[in-house]
Amino acid sequence: MKVLIVGSGGREHALAWKVAKSPKVDKIYCAPGNAGIGEIAECVPIGAMEFEKLVDFAKKESIDLTVIGMDDPLVGGIVDAFEAEGLRVFGPRKNAAILEGSKAFSKDLMKKYDIPTAAYETFDNPEDAMKYLETSDYPIVLKADGLALGKGVLICQTKEEAMAGVQEIMMDKKFGSAGNRLVVEEFLVGREVSVLSFVDGKTIKTMTSAQDHKRALDGDQGLNTGGMGTFSPSPFYTEEVDKFCRDYVYQKTVDAMRSEGREFKGIIFFGLILTEKGPRVLEYNARFGDPEAQVVLPRMKNDIVEVFEACIDGTLDQIDLQFEDNACVCVVLASGGYPVSYEKGFEITGLENFRDKDGYVVFHAGSKLTDGKIVTNGGRVLGVTALGDDLKKARANAYEAVKLVNFQGMYYRSDIGKAIDEAE
């Protein structure tokens, strides 16, 4: 089979790495890809939003399966564009990707189908939002309705902050049209867990749990980022939590989407928060998490291509999804200055230390090949990933491995997985 992966980050590297393990696959392409992906796939210089060019490429190269990694093309309808040409593609159609594309939609869905989530109100104009915020309890959470590169959520401690937030999102349009509507949400306290799942329209199979670290600096300080590191499984995702979510969240979400005439095929990523009153859904994503994919996929036993095909064909009920009884930790190495401003083009050294090193893999996020050298090409540059028999061993392995690579300005959090200690 020939497989095309759309995207260029660490998540897409993890996907390509996992797809490459399938005996069914002869050749992998990635559009546009990065230097690490280029070692296992042929990178094609087509952007993820260039649907027509991607469809033409898939037809010309007789691609058997296309896998979409990123949210923007999914929300923009890339799956519909591929299906219109009779091409096989893994991911939700536009009318289902709205589960991630509109927070107002997902909140209304949860309310209508009684799926546990934070209380909220939706506003279409800033005056009404501000009036509501005059008498709210604080802290409170403001969310731009649409996609905002993971930055459209503001946690406001005071009324003044909230008013400034409404100004930024709805009036200054800091996140463009994503801010045409605003969701104002109750602030919840608890530990966050990411649960990714495969969905074929009717059946849902959840993967092993993971936990992200969104802030730039140790101790959850600093600005929000795309994610500075992950571990899997989460010791806080207990059997009791799992049972609650099976009863009240997972299948209910899939059934709700079907009832709305928006059958969901692809990945549903449940962003959960474990509150004192029980688990609540913070958000849905319609794709693998980044860097959650980097710690979940190395633990997955199945041939992922078979699972993708089962989702497309509606036969996921026949798949026995299995994960290794081990643990995985990914530490993101970022460019100095990320997530604000940073330089690119610094040579990355030490990558050769990872060739054929069992239990370790460096997933590239922002790298490119220039004059035979691999150089930095983004804010998040690499995800150093290590397996271990348990979380502590995986964490120790990952931090040992971090010492093997380097580039100018490199920084990383030294407390990825520290929460593990608190679980004891």
| Interacting residues toward ligand AMP by CB under 6 A | 118, 141, 150, 153, 155, 185-188, 192, 214, 271, 282-283
Sole binder of ligand GLY in the list 12, 145, 185, 290 (CB under 6 A): 290
139 vs 150 by CB, closer to ligand GLY: 150
Tell which residue, 217, 328, 268, 278, has the closest CA to residue 71: 268
Residue 190 vs 409, nearer CB to ligand AMP: 190
Q: Interface with ligand GLY by CB under 6 A: which range of 140-148, 289-297, 306-314, 316-324?
A: 289-297
| DSSP bridge partners of 199 | 204, 266
Q: Taking a C-beta distance cutoff of 8 angstroms, is the pair 219, 415 a contact?
A: yes
133-172 footprint of ligand GLY as x/- string (CB under 6 A): -----------------x----------------------
What is the nearest approach in angstroms of ligand AMP to the Cβ of residue 19?
27
The partner residues of 365 in beta bridges, in order of sequence, read: none
Q: Does 229 bind ligand GLY (CB under 6 A)?
A: no
Give yes or no for residue 266 binding ligand GLY (CB under 6 A): no
Q: Cβ closer to ligand GLY: 22 or 232?
A: 232
Q: Which is nearer to ligand AMP, 211 or 302 (CB)?
A: 211
Task: List the x/- string, 342-381, binding to ligand GLY by CB under 6 A.
Answer: ----------------------------------------
Q: Within its chain, how far is the Cα of 149 from the centroid?
A: 11
- Residue 295 touches which member of ligand AMP, ligand GLY, none, C-beta under 5-8 Å by kind: none
Q: Minimal distance in Å, beta carbon 94 to ligand AMP?
A: 20
Q: What is the closest distance, in whole angstroms, from the C-beta atom of residue 295 to ligand GLY in the complex?
A: 11
Of the pair 18, 280, the CB lying nearest ligand AMP is at: 280
Query: Residue 263 interacts with ligand GLY (CB under 6 A)?
Result: no
Beta carbon of residue 212, minimum distance to ligand GLY (angstroms, whole number): 4
* Least spacing, CB of residue 235 vs ligand AMP, in Å: 18
SS3 labels along the chain: CEEEEEECCHHHHHHHHHHCCCCCCCEEEEEECCCCHHHCCEECCCCCCCHHHHHHHHHHCCCCEEEECCHHHHHHCHHHHHHHCCCCEECCCHHHHHHHHCHHHHHHHHHHCCCCECCEEEECCHHHHHHHHHCCCCCEEEEECCCCCCCCEEEECCHHHHHHHHHHHHHCCCCHHHHCCEEEEECCCCEEEEEEEEEECCCEEEEEEEEECCEEEHHHEEEECCCCEEEECCCCCCHHHHHHHHHHHHHHHHHHHHHCCCCCEEEEEEEEEEECCEEEEEEEECCCCCCHHHHHHHHECCCHHHHHHHHHHCCHHHCCCCECCCEEEEEEEECCCCCCCCCCCCECECHHHHCCCCCEEEEECCEEEECCEEEECCCEEEEEEEEECCHHHHHHHHHHHHCCCECCCCECCCCCCCHHHHCC
Q: Is 227 in the site for ligand GLY (CB under 6 A)?
A: yes
**Structure token digits, residue 221:** 């300080």
Q: Which stretch binds ligand GLY (CB under 6 A): 118-126, 237-245, 285-293, 415-423?
A: 285-293
If the CB atoms of residues 189 and 340 are measured against ligand AMP, the closer one turns out to be 189
Beta-bridge partner residues of 284: 270
Kindly tell me which of 72 and 128 has the beta carbon lying closer to ligand GLY: 72
385 makes contact with ligand GLY (CB under 6 A)? no
Q: Among all residues, whose Cβ is closest to ligand AMP?
A: 283
For ligand AMP, the closer CB: 8 or 211: 211
One of 76, 179, 289, 383 touching ligand GLY (CB under 6 A): 289
Query: Which of residues 145 and 212 has its CB atom nearest to ligand GLY in the complex?
Result: 212
Positions touching ligand GLY (CB under 6 A) are 150, 212, 227, 285, 289-290, 292
